[in-house]
Structure 1
Amino acid sequence: METFSEINDMYVERFAFIEMLSREFVAMTGCGVYVYLNPLDVDQLFNNYQNLRMPIRAFARQCIKNVAG
């Protein structure tokens, strides 16, 4: 069973991921992430990111190339 701290950490990590993804989308395309992706897509990207364990910024840039490129 997950503790409150573990659940809180997961939300903090998810928020940081979405924030960085959004920043990178704006920086590279001029538009926010939700212009290109729906919330379910962003959630799936977060799950993929957790499995790959690469830096958020590198993952975000790769996503942008795949989606908006």
Structure 2
Amino acid sequence: METFNEVNEINTLRIIFIETVSRQFVAITGCGIYVYLNPVAINELFNRYLDSSVSINTFARQCVKKVVA
């Protein structure tokens, strides 16, 4: 069972992830993440990020390249 602190850490990381990916979308396309992806897709990306071993910034750049390409 997850503790309150673990849930808070995941939620904080999710917010940081969404902000980072959105900044990458704005930097590359001029539009935020929600122009390209719905909340369900963003949550799926977050779950994939958790399973990866790369930094948030690297993962965000990879996401933008895949979505925009």
Shorter chain as denominator, the TM-score bin is: over 0.9
Structure 1 ranges of 4+ moved more than 4 A = none
Identity rate, percent: 54
Shift of 1:53: 2.2
Shift of 1:52: 0.6
Indicate the residue corresponding to 1:17 in structure 2.
17
Instruction: Provide the C-alpha distance between the structure 2 equivalents of 1:59 and 1:10, rounded to a whole number of angstroms.
Output: 17
1:66 aligns with 2:43: no
Instruction: Provide the C-alpha distance between the structure 2 equivalents of 1:10 and 1:55, rounded to a whole number of angstroms.
Output: 15
TM-score under structure 1 normalisation? 0.96
> How many pairs align?
69
Indicate the residue corresponding to 1:47 in structure 2.
47
TM-score under structure 2 normalisation? 0.96
Superposed CA RMSD: 0.6
Deviation sequence 1:1-26 (CA, Å, 0-9, x none): 11110100010010000010010100
- In structure 1, stretches of 5+ residues that fail to align are none
Indicate the residue corresponding to 1:3 in structure 2.
3
Indicate the residue corresponding to 2:27 in structure 1.
27
